[in-house]
Amino acid sequence: MADAYQIQSNGGDSQSKPLLELYVKASGIDARRIGADLFCQEFWMELYALYEIGVARVEVKTVNVNSEAFKKNFLGAQPPIMIEEEKELTYTDNREIEGRIFHLAKEFNVPLFEKDPSAEKRIENLYRNFKLFLRAKVEFDKGKKEPSRVEDLPAQIKVHYNRVCEQLSNIDQLLSERKTRYLLGNSMTEYDCELMPRLHHIRIIGLSLLGFDIPHNFTHLWNYILTAYRTAAFIESCPADQDIIHHYKEQLNLFTNQRETLQSPTKTHTIPEKVLSDIRVKGLAPDVNVH
């Protein structure tokens, strides 16, 4: 029913630490691979933060939601699902999962859920606005061999594009002002667990389906994306490009040919060379990979 990604204990008395099992949606191409559900990755990253400092033992398991075994065991619940065996508790609601992780973080003084209204305002609705742009542009491009250029789009679609770019610019400005690795400082918080996967999806889907890329002049935002690509919690939980693309094609009812499903999985965790050069000029991150 499930393939497990076990995060080993971080030393100490491992049996005294709670064992948290997170069930995440498997890839629609290969059930042994991680799927592209954003909430699954978000909770995985938060749990990884608890594991890294030795607060909890964590096992992440991919599940095929269409399998009879999964349906029988979880009675219609959908991933993400978290089980805490010692307490015989199963969390099937996102708020319940977040609440349990929150209480563990608070109990052990892990600054994972620090509140910051400014950061919260900058990132809220970014993904919603991207989805509006995605659906509108895919519909407009239906039947075309190549995605339309942004400048050729009608005004009612451009407004979604402009909102996305405006929010990306606001996040870039925030990062420029704070000069920190993550949104709130030099440690990852819930805001990063939310934003990093969504930025990655925007990048992968923008390039593959929309002919759109995150503007290259947002240097601090790109440096933040680079930080994601160097963060263990993100690397461990990140699905392959092919699985992200397949996930959105399913949502949009777009045709996926067999060749795409047979490709070896790859993960884009590098950034454009021109962007890297700008980052180096500003002294933000001198030693990184490019493509």
CATH number of the CATH domain containing 91: 3.40.30.10
What CATH number is associated with residue 171?
A: 1.20.1050.10
**Is the pLDDT reported for residue 291 higher than 60?**
no
Residues 171 and 95 in one domain: no
Of 52, 83, 108, the residue at which a domain comes to its end is 108
Residues 132 and 97 in one domain: no
Asked whether the beta carbons of 183 and 195 are under 8 A apart, the reply is: yes
Would you say residue 63 lies in a domain? yes
pLDDT (0 to 100) of residue 71:
87
pLDDT (0 to 100) of residue 136:
96
Would you say residue 6 lies in a domain? no
**Is the pLDDT reported for residue 63 higher than 70?**
yes
Phi/psi-derived region of residue 116, left when phi > 0, alpha when psi is between -120 and 50, beta in every other case: beta
Amino acid at residue number 228:
A
- 99-113, 115-129, 245-259: which range is least confident on average? 245-259
pLDDT (0 to 100) of residue 290:
46
**Is the pLDDT reported for residue 175 higher than 80?**
yes
- Provide the residue range defining the domain that includes 240: 117-282
Residues 179 and 141 in one domain: yes
Between 122 and 259, the higher pLDDT residue = 122
pLDDT digits (tens, 9 = 90+) for 196-237: 999 999 999 999 999 999 999 999 999 999 999 999 999 999
Whole-number mean pLDDT of the chain? 91
Please report which confidence band the pLDDT of residue 11 belongs to, taking 50, 70 and 90 as the band edges.
very low
Count of structural domains, the chain: 2
Q: Rounded to whole angstroms, how far apart are CA atoms 291 and 289?
A: 7
Mean local confidence (pLDDT), 146-169: 94
**Is the pLDDT reported for residue 8 higher than 90?**
no
Share of the chain above pLDDT 90, in %: 79
Helical ranges in the chain per DSSP H = 38-52, 68-74, 94-107, 117-123, 126-140, 155-178, 190-205, 219-229, 232-237, 241-252, 258-262, 273-281
Please report which confidence band the pLDDT of residue 145 belongs to, taking 50, 70 and 90 as the band edges.
confident
Residues 133 and 228 in one domain: yes
Would you say residue 9 lies in a domain? no
Please report which confidence band the pLDDT of residue 284 belongs to, taking 50, 70 and 90 as the band edges.
confident
Residues 91 and 124 in one domain: no
Would you say residue 182 lies in a domain? yes
Of 57, 75, 108, the residue at which a domain comes to its end is 108
Residues 253 and 132 in one domain: yes
Mean local confidence (pLDDT), 25-29: 94
**Is the pLDDT reported for residue 30 higher than 70?**
yes
Share of the chain above pLDDT 70, in %: 92
**Is the pLDDT reported for residue 4 higher than 70?**
no
Mean local confidence (pLDDT), 56-67: 93
Residues 94 and 165 in one domain: no
Would you say residue 3 lies in a domain? no
Of 78, 108, 138, the residue at which a domain comes to its end is 108
pLDDT (0 to 100) of residue 15:
60
pLDDT (0 to 100) of residue 259:
78
Residues 75 and 121 in one domain: no
Mean local confidence (pLDDT), 17-30: 94
Residues 89 and 187 in one domain: no
Positive or negative, the Cα torsion across 186, 190, 196, 199? Answer: negative
Would you say residue 36 lies in a domain? yes
Residues 49 and 167 in one domain: no
Residues 231 and 266 in one domain: yes
Would you say residue 47 lies in a domain? yes
pLDDT digits (tens, 9 = 90+) for 32-53: 999 999 999 999 999 999 999 9
Would you say residue 12 lies in a domain? no
Asked whether the beta carbons of 220 and 9 are under 8 A apart, the reply is: no
Residues 123 and 77 in one domain: no
- 1-10, 54-63, 142-151: which range is least confident on average? 1-10
